[in-house]
Amino acid sequence: MNKTLKKSDVVSLATGLARPTREDAEAAVRTLIRWAGDNPEREGLLGTPDRVVRSYEEFFSGYDMDPRDMLQRTFEEVEGYDEVVALRDIRLESHCEHHMVPIVGKVHIGYLPDKRVVGISKLARVVDAYALRLQIQEKLTAQIANTLQEVLQPRGVAVVIEAAHECMTTRGVHKSDVTMVTSRMLGAFRDNGDTRREFLTMIGRTSL
């Protein structure tokens, strides 16, 4: 059960939960260092708790981003353009919510406008808003596609993610050179095979 929030609490925008203090976070890192078998007071590790916390602020900054707000500014002066808009090879950096190790890959996004378009940098920002959280790739794919569909209300949205998971390559089964591919097709990309194939061709794929 959540504790009652105080005015002094720092709250996650995405979850509404109060965050521990920086001091609490650094203490937790020291505990993990001791659990790993090392001494957090030795010279090489003295600054590690601070560095880890600052890294986490960057790795998980998506919890303080509102992806829907990023898509509010759109443009309607498109001279009747009604073909697929695609942005491919968007760099993906995320972390597996099961082991908290990196997921690295690329995201391809396509949408079929209905009267309005959005700046392409906003598509990449939406990717980051969801990727810079603890994630699984399937959920991340759906979140990006669903948000674009709900906010932009285009005739269709397509999202394909190709990524390597260090929870598989550096631990467990230790299988390198493995890429996971996920996709979510909505609207015209789900219902119209020609539209779907056009998008796949634009991102350099013949199939999924």
Catalytic residues: 96-99, 137, 165, 167
Structural contact between residues 131 and 93, judged by C-beta atoms closer than 8 angstroms: yes
Helices (H), the chain: 22-36, 48-59, 67-70, 120-131, 137-152, 166-169, 188-191, 193-202
**What are the residues whose beta carbons fall under 8 Å from the beta carbon of 160, sequence distance 6 or more?**
107, 108, 141, 181, 182, 183, 200, 203, 205, 208
**HEC per residue, 156-201:** EEEEEEEEEEHHHHCCCCCCCCCCEEEEEEEEHHHHCHHHHHHHHH
**What are the residues whose beta carbons fall under 8 Å from the beta carbon of 114, sequence distance 6 or more?**
82, 153, 154, 155
Crossing angle between the packed helical segments 137-152 and 120-131, to the nearest 10 degrees: 140
What does the alpha-carbon distance between residue 24 and residue 118 come to, in Å, rounded to a whole number?
41
Tokens of 46: 């003295």
